[in-house]
Amino acid sequence: MAQMILKMILNGKPVERRISPGDTLLDVLRGDLGLSGTKKGCGRGECGACTVIMNGKAVNSCIVPAPRAMNARIETIEGIGTVEKLHPLQETFIHCGAIQCGFCTPGMIMSAKALLDKNSNPTREEIKEAVAGNICRCTGYVKIEEAIMMAAEMIKRERRK
């Protein structure tokens, strides 16, 4: 199969990579770019461990053909906070105990971020819907929902400053 050059904006920076048309976005992120925060779970778009934000929308990168990411804006967990300054979602997931094994956490946070980027005042039902495609086998979802609600409040306060 002929290779092609994939161009995208990844975590705010232009990236070019040679890919095979049969690659998934997950293959490129983890394999080619070494961004291991995006997890490979089911490989069928059912568990949400590989969730990233593509052009403002949460997507399962394991089922996105890499060529579809041409010229797209992609955000991964590695692009939303730093060690010195965590993203509010990262802070609140820690504070609320919404993390146990941590495997689902990056995808869960990226789904929540896609929601909060569009809706800074979500209802609990909107939160449940936003993370419905993310499976957590450890925590249940109550602490995750609380963390997202708390992060929404933090983000609103930051915007008012």
Does 101 share its domain with 140?
A: yes
How confident is the model at residue 158, as a pLDDT?
87
Q: Tell me the backbone φ, ψ of residue 142, rounded to 5 degrees.
A: -60, -50
Domain that holds residue 139: 88-160
Identify the segments of the chain with pLDDT beneath 50.
Answer: none
The per-residue pLDDT for 139 is 78
What region, left, alpha or beta, does residue 43 occupy, with left being phi > 0 and alpha being psi -120 to 50 degrees? Answer: left
C-beta separation of 53 from 114 below 8 A: yes
Taking the C-alpha atoms of residue 102 and residue 74, their distance in angstroms, rounded to an integer, is: 22
Supply the pLDDT for residue 159.
Answer: 85
Answer whether 54's CB lies under 8 Å from 25's CB.
yes
Report CA 137 to chain centroid distance, whole Å.
Answer: 18
Alpha-carbon gap, residue 142 to 102, rounded angstroms: 16
Pick from 53, 77, 101: which residue ends a domain? 77
What is the residue type of 117? Answer: D
Q: State the CATH number of the domain containing residue 24.
A: 3.10.20.30
Q: Looking at the structure, do residues 67 and 104 belong to the same domain, yes or no? A: no
